[in-house]
Amino acid sequence: MKAKKNPKADLNRGSVIFFQIGLIMILSSVYFTLEMRTAVNDSVDNYTVEVDEEMIVDIPITQMNTPPPPPPPPPPVIPEVIDIVNDDLDIKEDVIVSTESDQDDRIETVAEVSDIDEGFGEGEEIEQVPFVFVEQVPIFPGCEDLKDNEARKKCMTEKIDQFVRKEFNTEVGTDAGVSGINRIIVVFKINEFGKVTDIQSRAPNILLEEEAERVIKMLPQMQPGMQRNRPVRISYSLPIVFEFRERG
């Protein structure tokens, strides 16, 4: 006996229907998905953010208040002696005047009879003449080529002035505790051999006197002054202006 197929049990017959149903569902899902994306994009495109252009946000700037550095300490007060010069100011009569004074000025000199010196006759007096009146002044080293007495006198005065400026120890003003302008008067003689002798000084402080005498003792030997063709002793006075300043 031959078996027969049941038409209801044929699976191939229902597969077409299932395929169509599945295809419809897939297409529906795809369509729905596309619609959702379009709706989202439209909502994003239509959203506008408005910014107020006038709105300015100030960000405070914090400044570091650094205190200024302390001022430097004032420099120490340094005493300064700035000048040692011949004094051209008027000098009272009781003060020995500068050797640069005119012959009409009053000049105080001390006449003395000196002891007998080697090279001169026994009992012969050595004349002493003020510097401004001597016929031939002593010749200071470096002034030998000058023939005129006035030129030699000027040269000698300048040489002594330069020597004192160079050798005077200006620090003595600090040790002496002086201030302002101080005048030192130094009196000495240039003997018949051209050597400096009999140095005396007068100053506001003994340290200034000692320093002035020390410098004058260092003067070099000169050719002696001459009066009537004979060597004579020359009295010489040297005012020194000593100015002491404090440097601020």
Q: In this structure, how many other beta carbons lie within 10 angstroms of the beta carbon of residue 168?
A: 20
Predicted pLDDT at 8: 54
Predicted pLDDT at 120: 37
Q: How far is it, in rounded angstroms, from Cα 103 to Cα 98? A: 11
Q: Please report which helix (H) or strand (E) contains residue 152, including its range.
A: helix 149-167
Domains and CATH numbers, the chain: 128-244 (3.30.2420.10)
Predicted pLDDT at 108: 31
Predicted pLDDT at 60: 56
pLDDT > 60? residue 20? yes
Mind listing the pLDDT tens digit for each residue in 32-84?
Answer: 777 776 655 555 455 554 545 555 555 555 556 677 778 877 665 444 443 44
Q: How far is it, in rounded angstroms, from Cα 100 to Cα 237? A: 9
Predicted pLDDT at 180: 83
| Residues 6 or more apart in contact with residue 171 via CB below 8 angstroms | 81
Please give the DSSP secondary-structure letter assigned to residue 234: E
Question: Per the structure block, which two tokens stand in for 121?
Answer: 């006759």
Q: How far is CA 134 from the centre of its chain?
A: 47
pLDDT > 50? residue 233? yes
Predicted pLDDT at 95: 32
Task: Classify residue 234 as exposed, middle or buried by CB count within 10 Å of its CB (0-12, 13-18, 19+).
Answer: buried
Predicted pLDDT at 93: 31
**Nearest of 79, 58, 8 to residue 247 by alpha carbon:** 79
